[in-house]
Amino acid sequence: MRRLPDWRGRLAEAVRAASARPFAYGAHDCAIWACDVVSAVTGTDLRAEFPGAYDTLRSGLRVLRAAGYVDHFALLAARFEAAPMGRMRMGDLVVVQVDRLRGIAMWNGRMALAVSPVRGLSAVDVRHVLPGQAYLVGDP
């Protein structure tokens, strides 16, 4: 995957759109948010690879397991290059954990933007990024 020439504008629009949507499994959750980020940055539609609707975490995991992944974190690790935080660029993906909630978030250069059942799209401090859980989206 390569980054599109206009990825910055596309990513800004994805953030604007996500900011207006409430959390909902299968419509606006951390996996869907990650797919939206990848689509904005590279034009690749990861959602098209996973047929089947879901409306709970459990049913979402069933869709991923049918495609050969244990969960959405395993998909991330299998499809994207892991990198140290010092190499992360805006639009890359990280795994964050706040309290007992863990999810995929977009790195914006200083912090992560994550979709939360409690707060919708919100900023997450870098200290919540799990070690070894940062992934590059697209070649520069």
Q: Dihedral angle at the C-alpha atoms of 36, 64, 113, 18, nearest 10 degrees? A: 40
pLDDT at 47: 86
The per-residue pLDDT for 38 is 98
Give the burial string for 48-76 (b: 16+ CB within 10 Å, else e): eebeeebeeeeebbebbeeeebeebbebb
Give residue 50's pLDDT. 78
Q: CA-to-CA distance for 86 and 54, rounded, in angstroms?
A: 35
Q: For residue 53, what pLDDT is reported?
A: 85
For the whole model, what pTM was predicted? 0.94
Nearest CA among 75, 91, 87, 81 for reference residue 14: 91
Residue 49: pLDDT band (50, 70, 90) is confident
| Tokens (6 digits) for 66 | 């049918």
Query: What does the pLDDT read at residue 73?
Result: 94
Is a pLDDT exceeding 80 seen at residue 88? yes
Phi/psi of residue 70, nearest 5 degrees = -65, -40
For residue 48, name the pLDDT band (cuts at 50, 70, 90). confident
pLDDT exceeds 80 at position 90: yes
Query: Tens digit of pLDDT for each residue in 101-121?
Result: 899 999 999 999 999 888 889
**Could you give the CA distance from residue 59 to residue 113 in angstroms, rounded to a whole number?**
24
Question: With bands split at pLDDT 50, 70 and 90, how would you rate the model's confidence at 26?
Answer: very high
- In sequence order, what DSSP letters do the residues of 96-129 get, joined into one string? EEETTEEEEEEE-SSSEEEEETTTEEEEE-GGGE
- Domain ranges for the chain, please list them: 7-136
Domain 7-136 CATH assignment equals 3.40.50.10470: no
SS3 at position 20: coil
Burial-class residue 95 by CB neighbours within 10 Å (0-12, 13-18, 19+).
buried
In the prediction, which pLDDT does 124 show?
Answer: 96
